[in-house]
């Protein structure tokens, strides 16, 4: 869903290293501002960074863009919302500075609760909040602002692409999903075959869209790819059930399906609906996000224990256990649950830092040293 970027700082040697790193999925040249692992080493291949909170005890990350801006929710310090009630912590949406820098709380018309769902490369953020104490509404935050503009009341916004389109769901009065401008206008309804526009059809959940208006949508326990031109395509016609999670600009969709009582993860081939099955049935693989290079992040079982992973770019069957990276264990992190990966290989998610639940940004590092690149490549390939 995001265009590839690779910052080159020196001539031929840097170009060679960055090209190799981009092909391998290990790293790409990054501005390290905002990264602050407690014991970074010149020989490190990764750096993990806690995003902190908004004054409370925990935070969660949901998405990031190619600048490393992370969005999600965090607990605040105790606040007085209603004079009749005692001060209490609130769950509020945030957006970080580039490369996981300082958090800014997103102000919304609903002060009781809010979340942030997605961010695009220009810095537009979409999410949900409450109007009054209960009625939900979607909002958008424009770049340079920290205040959410209400868009569609009684609708949940789930994603925004780099052309300014968003997808919305509602189950108030009828089940509807639409693709619209980020302000919620110029909406086109997402329909499944056999359900006319003026009838209350099955419940839909439009979870993600790419820059070409193709949408990953779930309905009736099945995952679809939808667009105005091709309509809705059932990606798993021979499965008992399925669920899709993300889609990239190559029309690749990642998700899970159930066949013969066993669940297994899949990704579609580039510009195709043919499936590549990931891992083995029943291995607990739960994909969460996908970048434009086809790298997947999620959680799965390694030796019977659930851990976060990222797939190697050159081999989607090779899942790298993030919880066993030396840079992660050294900085006292555990139980990483990745939510999203950008085209620079940066991963946003939630984990335990010294036992406390925190949003994180995990960044692959590189230098213009070919030996350093080769060592990181070897370590990544050998990662269990």
Using CA atoms of 82, 86, 88, 92 in order, give the dihedral in degrees to the nearest 10: 10
Within 142-190, strands assigned E span 149-153, 156-160, 165-170, 176-181, 188-189
Interior/surface letters 236-272, b for 16+ CB within 10 angstroms, e for the rest: beebeebbbbbbbbbbbbbbbbbeeeebbbbbbeeee
The answer to whether position 236 is within a domain reads: no
Residue 199: pLDDT above 70?
Answer: no
> What would the pLDDT profile of 299-321 be if each residue is shown by its tens digit?
999 888 899 999 987 789 989 99
CA dist list (Å): 69 to 72, 95, 98: 10, 7, 5
The answer to whether position 78 is within a domain reads: no
The answer to whether position 266 is within a domain reads: yes
The answer to whether position 45 is within a domain reads: no
Q: What is the pLDDT of residue 365?
A: 86
For the chain, give the number of residues: 384
Start-end of H helices in the chain: 12-24, 326-330, 370-382
| pLDDT band (50, 70, 90) for residue 30 | very low
pTM (predicted TM-score): 0.87
The answer to whether position 182 is within a domain reads: no
> What would the pLDDT profile of 135-161 be if each residue is shown by its tens digit?
678 999 999 899 999 888 778 899 999
Query: What residues have CB less than 8 Å from 194, skipping those under 6 apart?
Result: none
Starting at the edge strand found earlier in the chain, the sheet holding 125-131 runs 114-119, 125-131, 135-141, 149-153
CATH number for the domain that contains residue 357 = 2.120.10.30
Q: What is the pLDDT of residue 136?
A: 75
Which of 138, 144, 106, 100 lies closest to 122, judged by CA?
144
| pLDDT band (50, 70, 90) for residue 360 | very high
Q: What is the pLDDT of residue 114?
A: 87
The answer to whether position 295 is within a domain reads: yes
Residue 223: pLDDT above 90?
Answer: yes
Q: What is the pLDDT of residue 129?
A: 87
138-152, 174-188, 191-205, 257-271: which has the highest mean pLDDT? 257-271
CA gap 82, 70 in Å, rounded: 30
Q: What is the pLDDT of residue 15?
A: 34
The answer to whether position 333 is within a domain reads: yes
Strand partners, 210: none
> What would the pLDDT profile of 74-118 be if each residue is shown by its tens digit?
998 988 777 788 888 888 999 999 999 999 999 988 767 889 999
CA gap 115, 106 in Å, rounded: 9
Greatest CA separation for the chain? 66
Mean pLDDT of the chain: 85
Domain coverage including residue 349: 248-384
Q: Report phi then psi at 43, rounded to 5.
A: -95, 5
Q: How far apart are the first and last CA of the chain?
A: 29
Domain count across the chain? 1
User: Under a CB-based contact definition with an 8 Å cutoff, are residues 59 and 350 in contact?
Assistant: yes
The answer to whether position 10 is within a domain reads: no
Q: What is the pLDDT of residue 240?
A: 97
């Amino acid at each position: 869903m995001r265009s590839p970027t690779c910052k080159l700082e020196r001539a031929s040697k840097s170009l060679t290293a960055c090209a190799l790193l981009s092909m391998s999925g290990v790293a790409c040249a990054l501005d390290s501002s905002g990264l602050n692992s407690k014991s970074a080493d010149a020989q490190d291949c990764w750096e993990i960074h806690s995003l902190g909170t908004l004054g409370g005890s925990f935070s969660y990350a949901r998405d990031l863009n190619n600048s490393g801006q992370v969005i999600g929710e965090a607990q605040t310090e105790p606040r007085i919302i209603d004079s009749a009630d005692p001060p209490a912590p609130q769950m509020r949406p945030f957006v970080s500075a580039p490369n996981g820098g300082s958090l800014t709380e997103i102000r919304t018309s609903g002060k009781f609760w809010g979340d942030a769902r997605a961010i695009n490369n220009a810095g537009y953020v979409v999410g949900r909040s409450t109007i009054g104490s209960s009625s939900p509404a979607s909002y958008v935050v424009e770049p340079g602002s920290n205040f959410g503009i209400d868009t569609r009341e009684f609708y949940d916004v789930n994603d925004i692409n780099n052309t300014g389109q968003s997808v919305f769901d509602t189950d108030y009065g009828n089940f509807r999903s639409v693709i619209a401008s980020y302000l919620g206008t110029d909406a086109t309804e997402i329909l499944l075959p056999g359900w006319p526009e003026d009838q209350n059809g099955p419940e839909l959940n439009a979870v993600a869209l790419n820059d070409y208006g193709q949408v990953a949508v779930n309905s009736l326990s099945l995952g679809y790819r939808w667009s105005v031109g091709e309509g809705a395509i059932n990606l798993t016609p021979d499965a008992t059930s399925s669920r899709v999670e993300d889609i990239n600009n190559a029309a690749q969709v990642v998700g899970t399906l159930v066949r013969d009582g066993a669940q297994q993860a899949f990704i579609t081939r580039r510009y195709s609906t043919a499936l590549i099955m990931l891992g083995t049935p029943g291995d607990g693989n739960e994909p969460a996000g996908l970048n434009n290079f086809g790298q997947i992040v999620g959680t799965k079982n390694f030796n019977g224990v659930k851990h976060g992973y990222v797939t190697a770019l050159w081999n989607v069957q090779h899942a790298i256990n993030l919880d066993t990276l030396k840079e992660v264990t050294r900085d006292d992190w555990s139980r990483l649950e990745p939510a999203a990966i950008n085209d620079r290989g940066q991963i946003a998610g939630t984990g335990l830092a010294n036992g406390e639940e925190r949003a994180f940004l995990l960044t692959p590092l590189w230098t213009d040293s070919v030996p350093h690149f080769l060592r990181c490549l070897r370590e990544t390939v050998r990662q269990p």
